[in-house]
A and B are shown apart, each in its own frame.
Chain A
Amino acid sequence: MTAILIALLAPTVAAVVGLLLGPVRPRLVVPVAVAGAAVALLAVCVPALRLVAGNDIVARLHLATVPTGAVPIGLDLRVDGTAALVAVAVACVALAVQVYSAGYLRGDPRYSSYAALVSLFTAAMLLVVVADDLFVLLIGWEVMGVCSYFLVGHHWEQEGSRSAAVKAFVTTRLGDVGFLFGIFALGHVFGTFSIHRIVSAAPEHPGLTIATLLLLCGVVGKSAQFPLHTWLPDAMAGPTPVSALIHAATMVAAGIYLVVRLYDVYLLAPTTLAVMAVIACITMLGGALAALAQDDIKRVLAYSTVSQLAYMLAALAVGSSLASTFHLLTHAAFKALLFLAAGSVIHAVGTNRMADMGGLRRLMPVTFATMTVGLAALAGLPPFAGFFSKEAVLGAAEETARHGGAAATWTGWLVLVVGLITVTVTGAYVARLWLMTFFGQPRRGVAAHESPAVMRWPLVLLAVPAALLGFAGLGQPKLHIGLVTSVLSLVLTVAGMATVWRAWTRAPSTDPTAGLPGHGLLLHGFRVDDLYDRVVVRPVRLAARAVGWTDDQVVEGAVLGTGRGAVALSALVARTQSGNVTTYLTGLLAGVLLLVAGLVVFT
């Protein structure tokens, strides 16, 4: 447990020190931030290594009990196997991002606050991972959200960053209100907010549909699932390393992780599982389709994240938290890699637009090689990590479809069919990104160059788990990978890729999906934003204007009333404006007299 406390404190201290040192010793900012992440990584490796060595590593730490007047809150931490693994993934990506940022944001005038926020974020995410009490978890959860808000708005000179930051924060807060109510509901039923106590008592309270659905609101917000997914593509306005850490590998996965932690409660709420399956399927396919039409390389990856998170949610919906966690871990590796590689590309060509890229294969060999690994993992090509974890998800769906289980059979079929269709689309958008960025002729005479070593090394290091992490799942008896499904999904992936490849070879300098029917609709993410603008944003604005107007009228009315009806009174009071204290003392005396008179009358 000491190791966990160190892991939490190191980045927090790094954040505070970095923020204070920033203006005075700017040279120390990078070392402090990297050191914070490195210490955190070393510390979280302690329980993880014990786990790998085959030990039972459940450890608890009770800091305090907070009375509330009803169910008390325990400031409790708890580490188990899943937590240890996720913590390692978080710390690894955080370290890679801190190192990478030193190159990517070199010379940024606000580097100290940037690095401090990333450090604080790391601590908050680790807190979410090791929290045992739901309120402790909520602290980490919301601190992550606010760090995300500030980091998305890092380039606050630009309107796009400003509005994306507002949107990200407000949308996730909307989900979090439901989340908070869900916590109340669980606490009410179980008489505790402790996650492990709730889980161990779960069989006594089956069918907690409302509580689990309320919690799901927070999950849907944080993990960018339909209908609250729209903030994530916009959040790409933040610096690319932030997108890698927060908006791909860790924070957005926190929603999934929460369901994993409370999974025994969810397993006994079949209605909630069905809702999760439907949400996951809509998001999975919709996200992949939208990714197919984006021109901004980061937006392709963002929609891809939305879609991949939906795979994790789908795994949960069909009863396999293990498949979900597995995909969470591999996705953290390959998506962080993909974002950092995309950052390397953006750094080199100075634009996010894939239309302005092309032919970078020879100019940026390391970026090309590592990004290829990442894309292969994302598409789910064997033997890269994404293949195994995605197949584990589809395998779980197949199991449910065939044999039923905690979730309804139809949800298994739904996830399986939509999952397979999405696999095809995933293959297509992966191939499109790969071809448009690295192949064909370089455009507009871009003098691209390979990124500096400080940015290359994180890529290489992340490429290792992105390639190999999948094999870790092979020994797991609970992971089911079906041969037929695997072959089918592989064929579909290749079919998706081949379709794009054929379109691209015909005209290598154009977007292979530009001619797709409904391209505009996909480019704008099915115009969900327009809908929200009409249904939510404008009515709120209107209501605000109405209230503002009413209040002015009421105040004016009240003031006029005072002026007319109580001229005498006003005049009386106004007399004191001379600053004459005795006038007020007279008033006070009069008040006391009134008081005494009242007493006499009443007695």
Chain B
Amino acid sequence: MSHWLIPLLLAVPLLGAVALLVLPGAVAEHVATRLGVVVSAATLALSAVVAATAPSTNVSWVPELGIRFHLGTDGISSPLLLLTAFLTLLCTVLLLRVQPEALRLPALVGVVLLLEVGMLGTFVAQDLLLFFVFFEVVLAPMWFLIAVWGDDKVPGGRVRAANIFILYTLLGSAVMLLGILLIGLRAGTFDMVALTARAGSGLGHSTQLLAFAALAIGFAIKTPMWPLHSWLPGAHTAAPTVGSVLLAGVLLKMGTYGLVRIALPMVPQGAHTFAPFLGALAVAGIVYGALACLAQRDLKRLIAFSSVGHMGFVLLGISTLTPVGVNGALYANLAHGLITGLLFFLVGAIKDRHHTADLELLGGGLYQRMPRLGALLAFAAVASVGLPGLAGFWGEMLSLYGAFDPGADLSRGYYLVLMTIAGTGVVLTTLYFVNVLRRVAQGTSFQVWRDAVLLRDATTHELVVWSPVVVLVVALGLWPGWLLSASDPVVRRLLGMSG
């Protein structure tokens, strides 16, 4: 009855983007940002309805190949849908007042809305090829975001950063496509619901291994997993604020979501074989990311490396193949989206004001000259550290808990070692974040900033954009049951456990 709901959800931002392209230049220029807000607000409302009613759509698309236009949601995709629509809305609201130097607003808003279509589509797709198409759709808008509206002062320039991003992820996509084709053709269907229900039956052991490896490489690049992360710092450093927020907030989640939604349930034997490797790389990423953060000079680059560490926790949770670990991974996914989204909003604001994100050039004294921005940065840092009572804690804790008692076939001692190393990562993460606060927020301002008249604290408009994130980070920290009771039954089904 409500089979039009999800297509509508995708159509609204798409039509918004198209409208901005076809409208006459002057008109588009005039309405662009406001139209963006209206469209993304409508999308958020629709995604709330979708999350609440869990409708589905299933019609034939390419009958010759057995590909269906199958869309649906459940307890693990709905939160990501809401996150996507929520962050996109915040980005468009931000663009009302805070705009990149290279204006071209209609195109910018259009690109953001197009990006939203791809992200939403990835989370609702129930057909492997459809999933792949949406997964690819995000690449072009993100490339434009970095290459057109990015910061050209980064080493090598913004276009190179954008190119590295797209080359890397296209390479991953190509490998992932092979995995998808292997599964779909061997199993005779691309339908994700059916493939999940089969849980790998009908796929030989070697097929499963090959398919999992291919999928995992594709998803791992997107996540990104150490050592395939090197596209991320450059892309983040160059990307404009909205690009960074959506990149860290949503795009990275597509990789881990794919692992949970596709790789674990459809080729479980491959998952079992490769899980220990995944776990080891995850933990390496946690420690490596934290150590790299300690060595960074650029604040945006630092937050990018912190993502490598945080996504390491997500991957560790997945690699345990336990409900608790995967629940934790999905929680950490969402929490990271909110918290790192907030961090990039804040760091973006700092960079816009000082025209640099270099720690040496920024110097200390943010608390002093911009108390509101400083306080928010402190809050986001503390949240990112995984403080209990804030959203970041539950996911990382459950990932570690999963490693404490991994899935049946996995070596307990091995995972205890991984857990312990990840635990030192927790301490290192604390260390680099308090170091950031020490270098940027505490202390006294450089004379050059004290003399600058244009440096103002967070504006009311910015506070309106950021405060919903703060509220959600606190709410998800105090009431973890909201997400966990939604994800737990789905995760059990995906892992082939009933009940």
Q: Are A180 and B397 in contact (CB under 8 A)?
A: yes
Task: Determine if B24 is an interface residue (Cβ-Cβ < 8 Å).
Answer: no
> Which residues from chain A contact B295 at a C-beta distance below 8 Å?
544-545, 547-549, 551
How many whole Å from A164's CB to the nearest CB in chain B? 11
Within 8 A of B (CB), among A40-90: 64-70, 73, 75
> Which residues from chain B contact A549 at a C-beta distance below 8 Å?
295
Within 8 A of A (CB), among B122-163: 129, 132, 136, 140, 143-144, 147-148, 156, 159-160, 163
Task: Determine if A247 is an interface residue (Cβ-Cβ < 8 Å).
Answer: no
> Which residues from chain B contact A576 at a C-beta distance below 8 Å?
143, 147
Name the CB-closest residue of A to B428: A540
Give Cα distance in the complex from A599 to B441, angstroms: 55
Classify the secondary structure of B's interface with A: helix
> Which residues from chain B contact A143 at a C-beta distance below 8 Å?
387-389
Q: Could you say which of B181, B385, B423, B491 contacts A177, with CB atoms under 8 Å apart?
A: B423
Task: Determine if B411 is an interface residue (Cβ-Cβ < 8 Å).
Answer: no
Q: Are A68 and B294 in contact (CB under 8 A)?
A: no
Give Cα distance in the complex from A166 to B488, angstroms: 37
Within 8 A of B (CB), among A558-581: 558-559, 562, 566, 569-570, 573-574, 576-577, 579
Q: Are A579 and B144 in contact (CB under 8 A)?
A: yes
Q: Are B435 and A166 in contact (CB under 8 A)?
A: yes
> Which residues from chain A contact B294 at a C-beta distance below 8 Å?
540-541, 544, 547-548
Name the CB-closest residue of B to A142: B388
Name the CB-closest residue of A to B294: A544
Which of A145-153, A265-273, A314-322, A453-461 is the interface stretch? A145-153
> Which residues from chain B contact A591 at a C-beta distance below 8 Å?
136
Q: Mark B168-179, 1 if CB is under 8 A from A, else 0.
A: 000000000100
- With contacts A69-B324, A177-B424 known, is A184 near B401, CB below 8 A? yes
Which of A133-141, A331-339, A403-411 is the interface stretch? A133-141
How many whole Å from B405's CB to the nearest CB in chain A? 6
How many whole Å from A180's CB to the nearest CB in chain B? 7
Q: Are A139 and B443 in contact (CB under 8 A)?
A: no
Task: Determine if B322 is an interface residue (Cβ-Cβ < 8 Å).
Answer: yes
Give the number of chain B interface residues (Cβ < 8 Å).
77
Q: Are A177 and B156 in contact (CB under 8 A)?
A: no
How many whole Å from A186's CB to the nearest CB in chain B? 11
How many whole Å from B191's CB to the nearest CB in chain A? 15
Give the number of chain A interface residues (Cβ < 8 Å).
68
Task: Determine if A170 is an interface residue (Cβ-Cβ < 8 Å).
Answer: yes
Classify the secondary structure of A's interface with B: helix
Q: Are B430 and A169 in contact (CB under 8 A)?
A: yes
Q: Could you say which of B405, B431, B435, B481 contacts A67, with CB atoms under 8 Å apart?
A: B481
Task: Determine if A595 is an interface residue (Cβ-Cβ < 8 Å).
Answer: yes
> Which residues from chain B contact A149 at a C-beta distance below 8 Å?
434
Task: Determine if A181 is an interface residue (Cβ-Cβ < 8 Å).
Answer: yes
Q: Are A573 and B167 in contact (CB under 8 A)?
A: yes
Q: Are A170 and B288 in contact (CB under 8 A)?
A: no
Q: Are A598 and B444 in contact (CB under 8 A)?
A: no
Task: Determine if A157 is an interface residue (Cβ-Cβ < 8 Å).
Answer: yes
- With contacts A156-B367, A602-B185 known, is A68 near B398, CB below 8 A? yes
Q: Are A65 and B481 in contact (CB under 8 A)?
A: yes
> Which residues from chain A contact B438 at a C-beta distance below 8 Å?
162-163, 165-166
Task: Determine if A543 is an interface residue (Cβ-Cβ < 8 Å).
Answer: yes
Q: Are A184 and B400 in contact (CB under 8 A)?
A: yes
> Which residues from chain B contact A476 at a C-beta distance below 8 Å?
none
Task: Determine if B349 is an interface residue (Cβ-Cβ < 8 Å).
Answer: no
Give Cα distance in the complex from A28 to B151, angstroms: 45
Give Cα distance in the complex from A545 to B401, angstroms: 31
- With contacts A143-B388, A162-B438, A177-B424 known, is A547 near B292, CB below 8 A? yes
Residues of A within 8 A of B (CB): 64-70, 73, 75, 113, 135, 138-139, 141-143, 146, 149-150, 153, 156-157, 162-163, 165-166, 169-170, 173-174, 177-178, 180-181, 184-185, 188, 540-541, 543-549, 551, 554-555, 558-559, 562, 566, 569-570, 573-574, 576-577, 579, 584, 588, 591, 595, 598-599, 602-603
> Could you write out 25 A-B pairs with CB less than 8 Å apart?
A66-B480, A69-B402, A69-B484, A69-B488, A139-B393, A146-B382, A163-B438, A165-B438, A166-B431, A173-B385, A181-B419, A184-B405, A540-B431, A541-B294, A543-B291, A548-B294, A548-B295, A555-B230, A559-B160, A562-B163, A570-B163, A570-B167, A595-B132, A598-B177, A599-B181
Closest 4 CB pairs of A and B: A548-B295, A69-B323, A69-B324, A544-B294
Known: A70-B324, A588-B140. 8 other contacts (CB 8 A): A66-B484, A68-B328, A69-B324, A157-B368, A170-B427, A177-B424, A180-B397, A554-B230
